[in-house]
Structure formats: C-alpha cells, structure tokens
Amino acid sequence: MNAASRRVGLRTVFAHPGYRRLWSARTASQCGDVFATVALALLVFDLTGSALGVSAVVFAEIVPVLLLAPLAGTLVDRLPRIRIMIAADVWRALLAGSLILLGDHVVAVYVIAFGLSVGAVLFNPAANSAVPALVDENELVAANSGIWTAAVLSQIALAPLAGLLYTALGPAPAFGINAASFVASAVLLTGLRLPATPSSTERRGFFADAVAGVRVLASDRLLRALGAGQLLAALSAGATSALLVVLAREHLALPPSGYGLLLGAIGIGAVLGPLVVSRLLSDPRRPAFVFGPYVLRGLVDLALATFTAFPVALVALAIYGLGTSTGAVTFNSLLQAHTPAHLRGRIFAGFDVFWQLGRLVSLLLGGLLAATLGIQAVYLLGGVLLLAAAAIGWAGIRGSTRVRRLK
C-alpha cells in the first residue's frame, strides 16, 4: 500500500477491517499465552523443585527457533500466510489441550513446550508479514503500536490472575484457556483476506529459497545493521531481564514487594511507549527511532549498575520499558516497510534467530558473570552492549535519515 504524509493513530488503523481481525486474533492468543506461561513455569517448578528445571522450559522454547526458523520463514513466503497461521493455531490448541492430560509428566511438558514453540516459529513471521498488506505504509507504526500495547496490557492484567488461578485450581484451567485462545484466533483468521503475495521473478527450489533469504540478510546494509543491533540487544536483555530479581535483592537491597514494583515500572513504560511513538512518528523509514532506544536502554542499564536509590531505579526502569516498547514497534515497522512482500517471512524468521540466539547465550553466561564478578558487572556489560548496538546501527546506515526499500 502507498504511504501518505498524514500522521495516523490507533483509530485510523482500527478502521481497517482486516487489521481489526488480525489484531483480535493475535490479542486472543496472547492472552491465552499469559495464562500458559505462568502456569507452565509454576508447574515445572512443582514437578522438578529446581530453577534448572524451569530453565529447561526456556531452552525447549528457544531450540525450535534456532533449528527451524529459516525453513519456517521460507514456508511463509511460499504458502498462503493465513493458512499457515490457522494451521499453527490449530496445532498449538491441540498441544495446549494435551497439557491438561499430560501435565503430571515433566518430560511430556518439555516436549509439548517444544511443540508449542514450533507453532510460534510459523505463526509469528506470518503474522508480522501480514500487517503491511492490511494497512498503508505510513500506518505501520500505529498498527504495530496497537499490537504491542495489547500484548503488554494482557501481560500486566492477566499474569497476576493466572497465578491466582493456578493456586486455586491447578494448571488445567490455564492450559484450557490457552487452548481456547488458539481456537478463537484460528476462527477469527478464517475470515481474514490478504492480497496474494508477489513471487520472486526467479523460480527456485525450497532450500534455494531459504539460502536466498540468508543472502539477502547478509548483503543488505540496513538489514545487517538491524541484525547486529538485534543480536547485541538480545545479549544484553537476556541476562538483565532474568537477573533483575538479583539486582533488586543484592544491589538495591529491596524486599520482594520492591521487586514487584520494579516490574510494574517497566510495564508502565512499556504501555506508554507505543502511545508516544504513534503520535510522534508516521514514517516507518526512520532508523533513528530504532537505534535511539538502544541508547536510552543502555544508559538505563549503566544507571542501574551505578546507583542504589530505589526512586532512581523506578524511574530508570520506566524509561527502559518505554525504550523497549518504542524500539520494538519501530523495529518491526522499519523491517516491514523495507522488505518486499515475497521476502518478509524469511527476514522476520531470520531476526527471530538473532534474538533467540543472543538470548540463549546471555542466559547461559549472565549467571556465571553475576556469580564471579557480581550483578553490577552484568548490568554494566548490558549497557555497553546496547550502546554498541546503537553505534553499529548508526555506522551501518552512515548518516542516512530515511532508508529506501529493499528490491
């Protein structure tokens, strides 16, 4: 769709019936995911009695992305994207429902967590690739803001409820809600219509298409800059997010309630970010709005490592949440605007690999760094990595203020 110069907001994008339907489907499944994520962590901890057991769930969710994302992205670019999303939802609904019956067996739980991630590996690049077909280019920032805001609000509102539900009734209701949410998403998507995806002028086999996607990622200047930023940001955020509780207890000397307030501050900032950026920006081809949030988040990590005052930490983490959500919205919008329709599945899948690879390495090394040098070292390094992500990004675009679309 063609871009226009006018600024747009959420009301504009919700006027598109197709976007409303995709937003509703994604929001439904995201709400179910909140219940399942909380219940899964609590269930595995009850079954294994160890933090290592819970970490294994995260590992089971990351591995499918690393193994399958390039192939999944190629499927997304070759097959109808709505069918892929519906198939992924049906697959995940069946697996989530099976947890009701098999949740007492920890090995089965790990296998099902792996399978749920396989569904997400297919669904996510297809959904991200669909957005530009439903709104105008200058509406992408508002469209992604709407999706991100719904995800954050569902996390804030439903995570405490999921914990209470688990305590009162066990894990089965949460898994049932998750299964129902995938069914609701699939039903909503059956009424969605997308324009046919333009095909590449070259006719290649499946694996040749997968390799071609990797070549595009490696050869395009902006994609290289964004990829480096994504990887460095994941190396930072994987550890700092997981070890925030350690920072709260050891560096800030806070009680458990203080840790909860820190999480709340991040949530407030994360909700405000998309609302702010959708008012300030309509042109998605502005890399400054992608790399700028890396600077903001990097400075916050350095401040958290330096200062111990609780009010400073609250304000800093609210700013961090704002930077994270703003960066996520502008990052997706720039990728969608820059990448041709026939490549979007492979490009988004490739960036999923960057994120999860960095996150996995960060989770593995962050704990070791905290144990040997202290939690402040984790946040100092995290801040440096984010500032490096911004610097590499700026160097990659070499002073451009607006990028041209990839051909």
Mean pLDDT by 10 residues, the chain (407 residues): 59 95 97 93 88 84 94 95 97 97 94 97 97 94 94 90 92 97 98 76 78 92 92 95 89 87 91 87 79 95 96 96 94 93 95 95 90 94 96 75 60
Separation of alpha carbons 299 and 293, rounded Å: 10
C-alpha 153, offset from chain centre: 14
The structure tokens 């990728």 sit at: 335
Please check whether residue 254 is in contact with residue 310, taking contact to mean a CB–CB distance below 8 angstroms. Answer: yes
Query: For residues 59, 60, 66 and 69, what is the CA-based torsion angle, rounded to 10 degrees?
Result: -140
CA angle 266, 65, 388 (to 5 degrees): 50
Please check whether residue 114 is in contact with residue 337, taking contact to mean a CB–CB distance below 8 angstroms. Answer: no
Amino acid identity of 138? N
Amino acid identity of 344? R
Report the SS3 class of residue 180.
helix
The predicted structure's pLDDT at residue 282: 80
Residue 72 in tokens: 């999944």
CATH of 209-407, one of 3.40.50.720, 3.30.930.10, 1.20.1250.20, 1.10.10.10: 1.20.1250.20
The predicted structure's pLDDT at residue 296: 95
> What are the domain boundaries of the chain?
1-197, 209-407
Separation of alpha carbons 375 and 7, rounded Å: 43
- CB count in 10 Å sphere of residue 215: 10
Separation of alpha carbons 309 and 61, rounded Å: 36
What residues contact residue 206 under an 8 Å CB cut-off, 6+ apart?
A: 74, 78
Amino acid identity of 72? A
Angstrom CA distances, 3 to 17, 126, 132, 138, 385, stand at: 19, 22, 11, 5, 34
Tell me if the pTM is above 0.75. yes
DSSP state string for 127-158: HHHHGGGTS-GGGHHHHHHHHHHHHHHHHHHH
Please tell me what DSSP assigns to residue 196: P
Residue 265 in tokens: 């501050």
Please check whether residue 262 is in contact with residue 246, taking contact to mean a CB–CB distance below 8 angstroms. Answer: no
Q: For 349-388, give one letter per residue: b (16+ CB within 10 A) or e.
A: bbbbbbbbbbbbebbeebbebbeeeebbebbbbbbebbbb
Separation of alpha carbons 276 and 279, rounded Å: 5
In 55-201, the DSSP E strands lie at: none
Please check whether residue 209 is in contact with residue 72, taking contact to mean a CB–CB distance below 8 angstroms. Answer: no
Residue 239 in tokens: 């550890």
CA angle 346, 351, 355 (to 5 degrees): 150
The predicted structure's pLDDT at residue 5: 47
Please check whether residue 231 is in contact with residue 357, taking contact to mean a CB–CB distance below 8 angstroms. Answer: yes
The predicted structure's pLDDT at residue 197: 66
The predicted structure's pLDDT at residue 400: 53
In sign, the C-alpha dihedral spanning 347, 348, 353, 359 is: positive
In the chain, the N- to C-terminal Cα span, in Å, equals 15
CATH class belonging to 1-197: mainly alpha
What residues contact residue 173 under an 8 Å CB cut-off, 6+ apart?
A: 165
Separation of alpha carbons 192 and 184, rounded Å: 13
